[in-house]
Structure formats: C-alpha cells, structure tokens
Amino acid sequence: MKRAIILLVIVLMALDYGYAQNTEIKEDFVPSELNQPGKQYPMVNSQGYARFRIEAPEATSVRVGLGQGGTILTKGDDGAWWGTTSNPLDEGFHYYHIYVDGGTFNDPGTENFYGSTRQESGIEIPAHDKAFYEERNIPHGNVQQVLFWSNSTNKLKKAFVYTPPTYGIDGKKYPVLYLQHGWGENEYAWWNQGHANLIMDNLIAEGKIEPFIIVMTYGMTNEGFRPGARSQAAPGNRPNGQRPAQNAQRPARSMRLNNGFEAVLCDELIPYIDSHFNTIANKEHRAMAGLSMGGMETHSITLARPELFGYYGLLSGGTYSPEEIANTGVKFVFMGCGSKERPEGVIKAANDLKAAGFNAMSYVSEGTAHEFLTWRRCLYQMAPKLFK
C-alpha cells in the first residue's frame, strides 16, 4: 500500500512537471503593480508566471523563495541573475524573499509588507475578479491611526480605523467590525495587503451595503506563537474537532489565556473606540472576524465574551458548532476558506448551524489557498451580511 502511494505521488509530480514543461510561457510580462517606482522587475504575465532579475554580480547562487520549491535564478551575461517561476502562481498577493549565498534578503524592486514576523517582499498576480477591490474614482473613506493606552500590558497600542465616506457628514452613528490579521502579520495587513478599505468603498458606492466602521489592531499573535506549533490543548479541543487546514497557521486553543489579547480588545480598545468615534455601542451593532490565527482569536473571544459581539466571522480560521454558540445570542456566523484548504469543513459546519436554526453562511474562494485573495473575497462576501 505504501509503495502504491509513493508511485502515485511520483506520477502526479511527473504530470505536473510535464504540464509546466509543455506549457508555452507567453512573453507578455509587465512590471508587478507592487514594484518600487521605476523598477521593472519582478514581472508577471497573463498566465500567472513571475519573472525576476536580481543584481548580485559577486554572488555564487541566488534563489527566490516563491513558487514550487522556490525559483532558482541563473546568472546572465550582464552579471544579473534571472529566472521565471516553473509554474503559474495563484491569483492575488504573495509574500516572498530572496536567498543570496545563504543569506535572506528582500527584493529591492518591490515594496515591503509585514508578514512572517518580518518585512517581506510582495508580488501581485492580477485576479480575474479584482474589480471588487480595484481603485476607482468614487467617494473614499478614511483610514486613520489611533493610539490608546493598554493598562493590561502597560504599553501604548495603536489601531487603524476605517471610517466610510459619509462618516462625520451625515451625523449618524455606525456599527463596528473588529477585523483581525493572521500570524506573522500586524495591524497594517488588512488595509494594506487586504485592501479592506477599497472593498468597503466599492461596496458602498454600488449600494450593496450599509456603511460601517472597521477597526484593525495588532492581535499579539506573534508573541510566543508560530505556525506548526503543537497546541497545549488536546486535539479534541480544536474547533469542531477538526484538523487545521493545509498550510494553515496552528495557534494554541488556549491562546485567549496566553497572550492577553482578549483584555486589550474587549476591555481597552472597544471602550476607546466607542468613546472616540460615532459608534452604535451595543452587541447588535458590533462584529468580530479574523483570518487564520486571527480567526482562532475570533472564535475564542466571541465565545468568551458573547455579550460584546453579535456577528462572527472565521476566514480560514476554523469553525463553530451549534453546541458552542447555543447560548451566545449570535445574529450571524460567516465561515470561509479557499478551495485548496479543505473547504468541506466550513460547508458542513455552516449546514450544521443552519439545521440547528442559526443564521450562518459558508463561502469557498475558488482556486485559492491560505492567502490574501481568499480573505479579500471572504470580506467581500461577508460584509453585506453584517448588521442586518
């Protein structure tokens, strides 16, 4: 049996390699939209391939940490190192870095984005459905940084707050979504990599949602946690008893007690936001959602503090069971993931919740894995369902 499995894997790898070898790469490469001003590389083409050029004339080996097994570059006559990914990349945003003679560096051609607990290079493979987060000539909201003191950590904390285009003009008060990033990221992720503000602006301009505020703060996910770490809790204590999705971050289920984020969010940030912004300060107009480890935090905190949140969202971040939310008074539950992340888990969980009488929705992002296009699409699908 083991031998048969090994042979099957070899055959599949050979087929994949054959596909890459037999696919003609179109020479319609253009600079990535995330490049530094005036930089031509990296480039992307219409098929999703990425091409790199790194100037390191004294190096003996250069590799890009992107694509299957990475992309090995070859030194050209001009002294620069060149290479193209062996396969097309998934649509959307990807972190990556460069290995030069064993050292790890960022690509000087691109902008930097905080991920994996460090600044990383970023590349964008244009998505066929990118219109929902594209830049448009429409009224735009504001993303502002706020500073608040945390007594529980004895530190000054910051958050980014998205307010819709009508905020401060119409004199209204607004619902609030507390939206969390994943492991290795911070409070910049959702509006920088995730384009949450553009998604909201476009939805509002199209009349698809009633405007609301989004608050994005650091979830303290990088302090003592790492992907793949074994949970301190027993496997049966995972949400709905499920295994983590492939490539998913695997935080300890005891995170709420370990990293102190519940106190920062619930006892310090929420009161600050309600006292400094025009919010409707009650459970029925407050939501929490998060991607990956931020989804795990959402799961833990919403169950621990059901009096605060009426809407829950898990984006590649586990599931809820009917037993868990039986006495929470939740108004709506959203669970989403990519089609490459074992989507049957979120589909079944939503069906179980609906069968038990809860208002729940599952969403599967087609053709994506544990990545920001999955989460951009999830936000786009979830936002119109909130605060109804």
Q: Is 40 helix (H, G, I), strand (E, B) or coil?
A: coil
Q: What is the pLDDT of residues 13-68, one digit of tens each?
A: 444 444 444 579 999 999 999 999 999 999 999 999 999 999 999 999 999 999 77
> Which helix (H) or strand (E) element contains residue 345?
helix 344-355
Residue where one domain finishes, among candidates 102, 126, 150: 126
Q: Is 156 helix (H, G, I), strand (E, B) or coil?
A: strand
| Statement: residue 100 has pLDDT above 70 | yes
**For the whole model, what pTM was predicted?**
0.87
Q: 205 lies in which domain range?
A: 131-385
**Same domain, yes or no, for 175 and 260?**
yes
Residue where one domain finishes, among candidates 96, 126, 156: 126
Which residue type sits at 16?
D
Q: Is residue 15, in this structure, part of any structural domain at all? A: no
Residue where one domain finishes, among candidates 70, 104, 126: 126
Q: Is residue 4, in this structure, part of any structural domain at all? A: no
Q: Is residue 18, in this structure, part of any structural domain at all? A: no
Q: Is residue 341, in this structure, part of any structural domain at all? A: yes
**Same domain, yes or no, for 182 and 305?**
yes
Q: What is the pLDDT of residues 64-92, one digit of tens each?
A: 999 778 999 999 999 999 999 999 999 99
- Which residue has 């490459």 as its token pair? 340
Residues facing 44 on adjacent strands:
30, 50
Which regions of the chain does DSSP assign to beta strands (E)?
30-31, 43-44, 50-55, 62-64, 71-72, 74-75, 80-84, 92-96, 98-100, 103-105, 112-115, 118-125, 142-150, 155-163, 176-180, 213-217, 286-291, 311-315, 332-338, 360-365
| Statement: residue 343 has pLDDT above 50 | yes
**Same domain, yes or no, for 226 and 94?**
no
Measured on CA atoms in the order 56, 62, 65, 71, is the torsion positive or negative?
A: positive
Nearest to 346 by CA among 319, 317, 315: 319
**Same domain, yes or no, for 270 and 150?**
yes
Q: Is residue 35, in this structure, part of any structural domain at all? A: yes
**Same domain, yes or no, for 262 and 331?**
yes
**Same domain, yes or no, for 149 and 117?**
no
Q: Is residue 22, in this structure, part of any structural domain at all? A: no
How many distinct structural domains can be found in the chain?
Answer: 2
pLDDT at 216: 98
**Same domain, yes or no, for 213 and 111?**
no
**Same domain, yes or no, for 172 and 260?**
yes
Q: Is residue 7, in this structure, part of any structural domain at all? A: no
**Same domain, yes or no, for 306 and 373?**
yes
Q: Is 304 helix (H, G, I), strand (E, B) or coil?
A: helix
Q: Is residue 8, in this structure, part of any structural domain at all? A: no
Output the domain CATH number for residue 40: 2.60.40.10
Output the domain CATH number for residue 226: 3.40.50.1820
From CA 23, how far away is CA 47, in angstroms rounded? 10
From CA 312, how far away is CA 296, in angstroms rounded? 11
Instruction: Tell me the average pLDDT of the chain.
Output: 88
**Same domain, yes or no, for 149 and 258?**
yes
pLDDT at 225: 56
Structure tokens of 244? 């983590």
| Statement: residue 117 has pLDDT above 70 | yes
**Same domain, yes or no, for 170 and 50?**
no
**Same domain, yes or no, for 163 and 105?**
no
